Structure 1
Amino acid sequence: MKTKILLTLAMAATTFLSLAKPVELDKIAVIVNQGVVLESQIQALVDDVKRNAEQQNQQLPSDTVLRTQAIERLILNSLQMQMAERMGIQVSDPQLDQTISGLAQEQGISLEQLVEALASQGISYDEYREEIRTQMITGEVRRANVRRRIYITPQEVEGLVKLISEQGDSQVEYHLGHILIGLPSQPSTEEIEAERERAGKVIELLNNGSDFAKIAVASSAGSKALDGGDMGWMNINEMPTLFAEAVQGKKAGDLIGPIRSGAGFHILKILDLRGQQTVDVEQVNARHILIKPSVILSDKKAQDMLLDFRAKLIAGEADFATLAKEHSEDTGSALKGGDLGWTEPKVFVPEFSKALATLDKGEYSQPVRSQFGWHLIQLLDRRMQDGSEKLKQDQAYEMLFKRKFAEESDAWLREMRDEAYVEIVSE
């Protein structure tokens, strides 16, 4: 009997040990400076790319190539998120929820319908929220670091205004595909020739009918690689100078390149062309009061403070300009009573411009959360502005900024990647 009991206990212990054996749920795939990229993150991104490709009936390269591209994107994300932490850039839950609600509205669906649509595709809403948060944070990090690298002279603006006038009101827009065969920061002659030969082979594959998007995913070192190299629509004044010179006179379907730059060898494809008509531009005259949450002032109290201001303004018990001068933390407009002057709504952060779009003349918004804090907005007036000289200058400046931002953004990411400590732990 004693032997039987001992045998039973031994079997139970074996079963318990088997059940208690740790199960590997995740593991570190890449070490990036002080951060890591997890295996689950790589797999999630690969799955997302595959899902999007299936919806668009797009061919993809092998899983090995997809994994390599996913790792590169996640390395850059990790570096930007680490920089965001050092810079103190955060996105609060209320701000995130507001952005996601806005994304749902843009698609003409409710938040509940968005959650259902994600679930039907096997996407967790919590994971989706965190991905949007990451995109918002990395976008702000990129803007903050790249802006300081951009300088636009009055002569550049005047030159572009003249060019736009010569081109007339109708300008061609190009839908560009882009493949970058990258070079290291200080390439040797052998490396340059090797990558030049590789670029030539890519051109040969494309000329023989290979799918551009598939080749971009497989071969491109550009930031849009996992999007099939799709750079979207732009006119020649918005694209990098190197590309602008290359695409002029080309037609839809044309392949261009390889074009050498400091980054490597570029291959372009004009996916489509369309005419661009100049139209009247809406401008708004608005003012606001900005309250920034802090350690002392909670997010909720900042919102309540503006709700109290709004109630007093509607009741005629307070003056907007006085409140702005006393309380607004936007130093640029506070001294002017919160007045932001006449401008195009798109220059404001998305949350601010969306709130403006819902207001009638003289109306006050509900408190609006953005990356800067809580805003109380009053729309003073709207107008449609024709192509005045000032407007042309603003448009020229915006085009130049977009062009230089794209160029400097790629350079900044490349420099940050070159300077980082990266160790691939598992393949």
Structure 2
Amino acid sequence: MQQSLVLQQALTWKMNQSLHQSIEILQLSGIELYDYVQKMAEENPLIEDVQPIDKQVLTQFHGETDAFENMNASKKNMYEQLKESLYMLSIPEERIKQAVLFGIDSLDENGYLDISMEAWAESCQLSIEDIEQALSYLQALDPPGIGARSLQECIRLQLKEMDCDYPFLDDLFENNLFLIAEEDIDTLAETYAITADEAGRLIANMKLCHPNPGKLLDQEETAYIIPEAAVFKEDGEWRLSFFNWSSPTIQIRDDMLQMTMPKDGAAYLKEKKKEVEMLKQAIQYRGKTLEQVLRIIVNKQLGFFEEGIAALKPLTLQEIADALNLHVSTISRTISHKYLQTDAGILRVKYLLQREARKGEGVARVVVKQHVRQIIAEEDETSPLSDEKIREKLETLYHMYVARRTVMKYREELDIPSSAKRKRRMDRRDD
């Protein structure tokens, strides 16, 4: 029992001490980052000033909304987002799918399974084997680590996504976790008969793991909608330009470092200097990663900036992660609470990541939904189109091939009644 307690404390300590600042800064918006650095400046006497930030930006951008985002304006919590993600999984048996939904509702706020397998099976009136299958589907959802029953399993699930799930991990967690905390590559490699490169990669990947994956699906929004960068056309080419508040510059007091002082004072300033250097590195990493991610997104969606919603292409976090050789959770944190200034207004970066309507077709769901909305808006009100007729028009007019039930699903998501109800509504209006 004591070993399990030590494991949790040590692993949590490792994640918090080594990663907390980098993870937190990565997912902050520009104005949140500035406030964060200002708070650090209050606690660190070496920080003289933080530049630059234009306070007028608050007046300029505060209160602006994104027209495109109004199509999906409601905030979704972790449970709703996970249930929406089930569409990506092919679950042939309805009873297993219902068990997965029950499992999602049984997660705690951090994304951990808060029910025993036996209680889950009893509640769904299924066998343990069925529940184990449901658990495998649940744990296949993003972000990796969702549905874990312990911190150790949470980390292993994330390492598995990184192709770093070694058979010796159980022993490492139970007996030699200090090797990770101390980043002792040589001893780790020798103990488990792996190469130094493999040991270094394992330590680096463990740093990327998030101890509370449910927090990555937090619905909390920023107080101000302020863009990180602007997308604009200049000399016939689309360009991406970052605002200066996206990466604040920290000025330190060199005079304090040159002062002669007692040993304790010198050690204190040395520690504070190290804090500033770590902060600068975290800010630099945030800026570099954000720029790389945004350039991929903008280049992929150039058609959208030229033609609007109808030209949006499917794009996923995994595609970006693969292109940059980063973990998908890193991409998710990078675009969290981030906005772009465009000709159409301020746009949430996440809006530019769209799911595919039908695998292999290369058409984003939002585009199909937009056409469904347009077709219905232009229909003869005295003879509303059935879902099958809408499907045929999508095929004829836009060369989009989706099933009738998909049309029905999108129509319902758009809160548009069926053709029969639209007809009755028209008849009552005539009366």
Q: TM-score, normalised by structure 1?
A: 0.22
Write 1 or 2 for the structure with the bigger share of helix. Answer: 2
Report the structure number with the largest CA radius of gyration: 1
Scaled by the length of structure 2, what TM-score is found? Answer: 0.22
More strand by share: 1
